[in-house]
Chains A and B, each alone.
Chain A
C-alpha cells in the first residue's frame, strides 16, 4: 500500500483536482484499489464525486479524533475500486485534533488497519500547515507538491519544505520521496514558462515530467461531480492525467503497469 500525499501550503494550486483525477485514473483506468482521504475541511474531494459534505456524519476528522475507530466505518464506496473517506467543515473537530495526544501521527496509526486492502492511498491536504497536513506528511510514502505557475508559487513551497524537514527529522522518515508537479500550466504565457523553469531548478531530478495544463474541461468535470476521464475522456486534461498516472506507475511498478492497463480495458 503506497500512500501518496498531495500538498502545498499555498491555496488554489489544484491539489484537489489532482487528487480526484489521479485517484480516478488509478482506479478506473488501471484497475488499482484506491482509497482517497480528504483532509481538507472544505470537502471538495467528496464534492467532486457528488458527496454533499453537509449530509456527512462520519468524516476523516471524526476518524482522526475518535479514540479507537474502525476505519472501515468511515469509508464510502464511490466507484468500483475507488473508496473515499470524505471531510466536511467542523471547527470543533479541528480544535480537538489540534489538542490530541500524538496528534501528528494519528493518520499513520489509523491506516495500519487498512494494510493490504488497497494498492494506493491518495490524500488531499488543506492549504495550511496545520495538524491535518502534518498527519498526511507523517503517513506519506510519497509527497507530490502540486505547484501552480503563479508568482507566489515558490513562497508556499519553502514553507512546506521546512515542515517536511521537521517531520522527517522528528519521525526519522528517511525514505519519503518528494516530487514536484506543475499544474495549471499555460504554455502561451512567459510567466508560466519562467516559473516552470524555476520550479524545475528547485526540484531537479524529483520533478514529474508530466505537466498538467490549464483546461476548462477539468473545472467543468468537477462541476458535474465526475473525474475528467469519465466526463470527457478526449479532453486535454484527461490526457494529462492519464500521462501523469502512467509516469507514476512506471516508477512504482514498472513491470505491471502495462498489464494493469490491459486488465482494466
Chain B
C-alpha cells in the first residue's frame, strides 16, 4: 500500500510505529556501541576492591578500577587481593545483626549502604561525595537501580542527602546520628551493662571486642539463645511442625531433631512443635 493511498488513521499509526522503531542503521550503531563495551576484557573492572586502603591525606582516594587486572577464576587468589596492609575499618555489628533484618533491607539497599559506609566511615568521616554512575560501577548495579535505592535509603532515614557537589556527585551523610568510630576498640572499652543485653540476643558492640569479652559473653549468649528471645508466630510453629514431621518420617529420631531445633527455639515453642508432631502419628524413634 503506497503512502498516498493510506487513510489518515493508517498514516498516523505508521508514524507512531516509525517513531517507536529506530531504523536498522541506528540499531546497528547502537549494537556497535554495546559491543564496544565488551571489546577489550582488560578494561573490565574488578569492582569493590580498594587499592589504597587508608590514605595519608584526608580525602578518600576513590577506587580506580582500570588499575586492577581482571580476575579470571584461575588467577583469583583471594589472599593476594584482600590484603591487610591496604587497610580495614570498623563496622557496627548491629548493622548486619539488627538494621538489615529489622528494617528488611533488600540486597540492593544493603550493597549501596555498605558502599556508602565504606566511603564515609571507612575514612572516619560522617559523609562522602559520590555520583550515581560511580556508585553503580562499584556496586555492579545499574544507574537507575542505584537512584531508586538511594531514594529508599533516604526515606528510611539511613542516609541523608546533603546536596549536590557539582561534578563530584552528591554528598551523603551515612547513618545520621550514629557516632563515627575512630578505631576498632573504643577508647573507654565496651560498656559492661550492655554485654548480652540486647533483646534479640545480639551484642551491642562499639567495635572489635576483646577476647575476654567474647569469652565472658559466650555463656550469656548461649543462655539467651536457649531462652529464645524471639517467639515464633503460629504460622511459623505450623511450618516447623510440618518440617519436623517430615524429618521424623524420613527416619530421624526425635532426639536428633530436638538437638537440631530446640536450642534455637523458645522452650514453649519447641514443646508445642514436638507435641503436635508426635500427635500426628509419628513413630517415637529414639525415645
List the interface of chain A (C-beta within 8 A of B). 158, 161-162, 164-165, 168-169, 174-179, 197-198, 201-206, 209, 250-252, 254-255, 258-259
Contacts and interface: CB of A to CB of B under 8 A. Distances in A.
Q: Is the interface of A mostly helix, strand, loop or mixed?
A: helix
Contacts of B39: 165, 169
A212 B60 CA distance: 46
Contacts of B34: 161, 178, 203-204, 206
A252 B254 CA distance: 67
A203 B30 CA distance: 9
Contacts of B20: 209
B31 A197 contact: no
Interface in B179-199: none
Interface of B: 1, 14, 17-18, 20-22, 24, 27-28, 30-32, 34-39, 41, 142-145
Contact of B30 (A164, A202, A205, A255): A205
Contacts of B41: 162
Across the A-B interface, give the 6 residue pairs with the lowest CB-CB distance, nearest first: A201-B142, A161-B38, A165-B38, A178-B31, A165-B39, A177-B27
Q: Is the interface of B mostly helix, strand, loop or mixed?
A: helix
A250 B38 contact: no
B229 to A, nearest CB: 30
B1 A165 contact: no
B57 to A, nearest CB: 36
Nearest to A202: B142
Contacts of B38: 158, 161-162, 164-165
Contact of A250 (B17, B30, B144): B17
B4 to A, nearest CB: 13
A162 B17 CA distance: 32
Contacts of A255: 1
A124 to B, nearest CB: 20
Contacts of A164: 35, 38
9 contacts: A161-B35, A165-B36, A176-B28, A177-B24, A204-B34, A206-B34, A250-B17, A250-B21, A254-B21
